[in-house]
Structure formats: C-alpha cells, structure tokens
Amino acid sequence: MSRVYFHSPSGDAELRGSERAWLNHVARGPAVAAWDLDRDDVVDRIARVLDMVPEVPEGEFGANYLHRYLREAQQQEQANRAVYAKWRPGQPLAFATSHEPQRQLVRALLTRLNVDGVELHVAGVKLHSTNVELNTALVAGSDPIRLAAKIHGWCESHAWLEGADRAWLAGIIDQGLKAGIYRRGIRRADEPDGRLDSQGWEQVQELLRARDDEPVVLSYSVGDQFPNPTTDLASPHRQVERWEDYTEAEQQAVSDWQERWDEDEDCAAKWDKGMAWLRERRPWARLAPDTLAEVAFHLPVTVYDLFAPDRDERVRAAAGLDTETVKDKP
C-alpha cells in the first residue's frame, strides 16, 4: 500500500495512501461546491467551463468527448424545451423528453476533474483545474482543509517545514482529527465490527512533537524519497519529461552522479544539501503559519474567480502579466 512519508534526519513517520486519497477528496470539497454542477441550468454552467477548455480533434480515442457530450446535451435541451412548449395538461410528458445526455455530461466532467483535470485558457493565461481546485480550498477552507490540499498537492514535490513549525503542524492535525475531517482509522471491509486500522496520524504527530530543531520533509512512496540524488544544488539533473530528453553526455553525467551519491554514506551531509536545495529551489513548498493559506498552487486563481464578472482581469492580475514574469510552480 502506498504511503505519504514524513522524513526527518532522526526518524520517519508514515501516513497511509488511503488517507492521501481522502485528503484529496476533502480538499476538492470547496471546489465541487464552487463548480455548482447540481443546478437546474447545469448545461449552461458547463458550457462556460468548457469555453475555457481548448477543444482538440476527435482523434482515435475520442479525446474531445467533453465538448461532444456538451453539444449532445445542448441539443437535447432544445428538444426538451420544444416538448415543454407544446405540452398541455393531461398529455404524457415523461416519455417525450430525456435528461440522460445532461447526466452523462455532468458525470464525465466531474470524473475528468477528479482524475487528471483539464487545462484552462483564460485571457491569454494557461491554468490547470487541479491547481484552481486546490486554491479554492485555500480560500474557502479551514486550516485542516488547507493542510489537506498542501499534503495531497505537494507531498510528491517534497513539501517541507522548519523545526520551529513542527508543533504548529501537529496542532492543525489535532484540529482535523477532532473535527472528523481526518480519519484516525478505517475499518477493514472483512472486519466491519473489528478494530480500526490506524491511518498513521498519531505516528506523524509523535514525530512532529519529538523535537523542534530538525526540519521535516514529505515524500510519496510511489516517487523519490528525500533526500535523493536530484535534491542537491550540485546535481547535473535538469527537469525533463523523459530520459531520452537528456543528451548522451548529460545521461552519462547523471548516471555517474547517481552512482557517487548512492555510494556516499554521509547521510547528514545529504540532508544538509537537500535542505539547501529545498530552501533555494522550492521555497513555495514550505509549510508554515504564514504560507499555509497565502502560497497558492501555481497562480492564485480559484473556481470563484473563473465565474466572476471580472474573470479576465482577475486572472491577468494573478499572472502578473503587466508587472513581472510568473515563476513556474506545480
């Protein structure tokens, strides 16, 4: 089973992967409400959303299915309205209309948003719905909701905190557990009346409260742990999508570097270098009282912004198009 790891120089703690999935569900709650896809005019609402999503060619696997479903739902809406206009009391109505295309559209969009999201183009700015949804949690949620967003969104990017903020983070976890937002444990399906299987929060809190002079860094079991060969300012690694994107000389340099890193047994030095890398390259991933709500995912745009009358102005201001270049951030 997957895990979210909380690493420190003197010990680690594990949060179950099932709790990360739950944190994603919790963090998306404010955005789901803001998308507002259970309204009577849901087709018009989704049309506004898909107007921000570039339509791609149909392709072999029906890549533009959302736009196709939208057109089918719009056509059915027109057909339904025509039936309503001609209806008279006493006439059957149920078999003359249909709402299945509308339901299909809603299901498809919600599934897409939940699984991998969509790219949004607004006023010349590219956004991603996943970032927009997590930002909505930051502005509309409590601290436990915000922390859920940060853990889910950035655990693979090595979200981190300084030692002085460990007790603060443990306190937010307390809030989440007491409110029932976080789950202390879940019952196994084959033991509905048995004991709860711990999700790991108590272990995480024990680690956080053990001391205040060491940083803590998150990682996900499916990806790289911390520290690793890339978390060093001297590393020859650069951001690429595939190994083949490196030149032959770069591939050799990276391979040599990783071999030397693996052979180096100075764990303390690796930690120090890794923290230097995080503080310089990923200051945005720091968890702290002054960053939890204020540091957004990529650009600080929410679902509410996307439906605001001054949407374009909000997005352009968030992108800093007229002031400064926006730095890349997950």
Q: What is the DSSP string of 100-125?
A: HHHHHHHHHHHHHHHHT--EEEETTE
The residue range of the domain holding 78 is 54-117
pLDDT at 324: 46
Judge whether 122 lies within some domain.
no
Judge whether 197 lies within some domain.
yes
Exposure string for 171-185, b = 16+ CB within 10 A, e = fewer: ebbeebbeeebbbee
pLDDT at 303: 98
pLDDT at 94: 61
> How many residues does the structure list for the chain?
330
Sign of CA dihedral 89, 90, 92, 94: positive
Judge whether 42 lies within some domain.
no
pLDDT at 62: 59
- Say how far apart CA 252 and CA 236 lie, in whole Å: 10
> Which one of 75, 95, 117 terminates a domain?
117
Judge whether 241 lies within some domain.
no
Burial class (CB in 10 A: 0-12, 13-18, 19+), 233: exposed
* Interstrand relation of 160-161 and 216-220 (parallel, antiparallel or unpaired): antiparallel
Structure tokens that stand for 6 in this block: 């909380």
Residues of the chain with pLDDT under 50: 323-328
Provide the number of structural domains found in the chain.
2
Considering the domain architecture, whether residues 292 and 200 belong to the same structural domain is answered as: yes
User: How does pLDDT run across 119-169, given as a tens digit for each residue?
Assistant: 999 999 999 999 999 999 999 999 999 999 999 999 999 999 999 999 999
Considering the domain architecture, whether residues 290 and 206 belong to the same structural domain is answered as: yes
Structure tokens that stand for 212 in this block: 């205040």
Considering the domain architecture, whether residues 68 and 215 belong to the same structural domain is answered as: no
pLDDT at 258: 87
> Which one of 69, 87, 117 terminates a domain?
117
Considering the domain architecture, whether residues 135 and 109 belong to the same structural domain is answered as: no
> Which one of 117, 145, 166 terminates a domain?
117
Considering the domain architecture, whether residues 171 and 307 belong to the same structural domain is answered as: yes
Greatest CA span in the chain, whole angstroms?
A: 84
Contacts of 213 by beta carbon, 8 Å cutoff, 6+ apart: 163
pLDDT at 328: 46
pTM: 0.90
* CA distance to 134, 140, 180, 270, per residue, from 144 (Å): 13, 11, 10, 31
pLDDT at 95: 63
Considering the domain architecture, whether residues 212 and 110 belong to the same structural domain is answered as: no
Measured at the CA of 47, the angle between CA 44 and CA 51, to 5 degrees, comes to 150
